[in-house]
Amino acid sequence: MDNQLDNIVPVLAIANKYSLQEAINGACELVREARRILEEAEKRVPLPTGNADLDGQIKRYIQACKDLVAGS
């Protein structure tokens, strides 16, 4: 074991002296807030651009960001 934490829940619990449930709730709130910010940013993306290839790239990038926020 390398003594590294690879999950946000124990990081929140240790850093904030949270109970396990408080840390889980905090992690969920962080994900919800990140998703909200991402969805707001997505609304400002100027699509279509007039370039189908570029539109496809932008849509794939946005989906990858959503997948990252969701942890998938």
14-67 pLDDT per residue, tens: 999 999 999 999 999 999 999 999 999 999 999 999 999 999 999 999 999 989
For residue 62, what are the CA distances in angstroms to 6, 10, 27, 47, 48?
A: 25, 29, 22, 12, 14
Statement: residue 3 has pLDDT above 80:
no
Q: Which DSSP helix (H) or strand (E) runs through 53?
A: helix 52-70
What local confidence, expressed as pLDDT, does residue 4 receive?
Answer: 76
Q: What pTM does this model have?
A: 0.75
Average pLDDT for the chain: 92
